[in-house]
């Protein structure tokens, strides 16, 4: 492949369009969450991921799993957890079966904030997708996002 290869150019254009869509969505959600709930997109994502833990087999996430889920490095995730813990939105505790393991769970105030913020997040996402769908370059990506169905 060369720099002028049409396939490479199309691939690069597709990646740029995907990056643009992501940026627009994240920016819209960030503004809405910050103004209405004092949360960043990353904070909301972390609360959301941790709120989905359960007591069953494999139900509690290790820090590296949390980091993967919120698309941050492990050190950035640890700093984010600490900030939210300082705000009283999260609590850490020792794993009952392995005293070396530390789990993080959403506190009651964290759950209340998450539930209040969820409609804001969803509305901002919908609005960002609706706006992007009007752009010819982004419309196919919006359709692709809307067609994704995650098994329950």
Q: Which residue segment(s) compose the domain that 16 sits in?
A: 7-147
Q: Is residue 2 part of a domain?
A: no
Per-residue pLDDT reduced to its tens digit, 42-82: 999 999 999 998 777 767 888 888 999 999 999 999 999 99
Number of domains forming the structure of the chain: 1
Q: Is residue 152 part of a domain?
A: no
Q: Measure the CA–CA gap between 83 and 15, rounded to whole angstroms.
A: 33
Q: Is residue 1 part of a domain?
A: no
Q: What is the pLDDT of residue 123?
A: 98
Q: What CATH number corresponds to the domain at position 51?
A: 1.10.10.10
Q: Which residues contact 96 (CB under 8 A, 6 or more apart)?
A: none
Q: What is the pLDDT of residue 73?
A: 93
Q: Are 33 and 40 in contact (CB under 8 A)?
A: yes
Q: Which residues contact 34 (CB under 8 A, 6 or more apart)?
A: 40
Q: What is the pLDDT of residue 85?
A: 96
DSSP-based three-state secondary structure for 120: helix
Q: Which residues pair with 92 in a beta bridge?
A: 104
């Amino acid at each position: 492949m060369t720099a002028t290869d049409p396939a490479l150019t199309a691939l690069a254009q597709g990646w740029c369009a995907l990056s643009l869509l992501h940026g627009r969505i994240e920016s819209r959600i960030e503004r809405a969450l910050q103004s209405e709930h004092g949360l960043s997109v990353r904070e909301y994502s972390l609360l959301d991921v941790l709120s989905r833990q359960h007591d069953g087999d494999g139900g509690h996430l290790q820090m590296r799993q949390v980091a993967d889920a919120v698309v941050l490095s492990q050190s950035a995730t640890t700093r984010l957890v600490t900030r939210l813990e300082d705000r009283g939105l999260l609590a850490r505790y020792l794993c009952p079966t392995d005293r070396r393991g530390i789990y993080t769970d959403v506190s009651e105030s964290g759950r209340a904030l998450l539930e209040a913020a969820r409609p804001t997040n969803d509305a901002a996402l919908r609005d960002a997708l609706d706006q992007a769908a009007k752009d010819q370059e982004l419309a196919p990506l919006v359709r692709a996002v809307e067609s994704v169905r995650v098994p329950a």
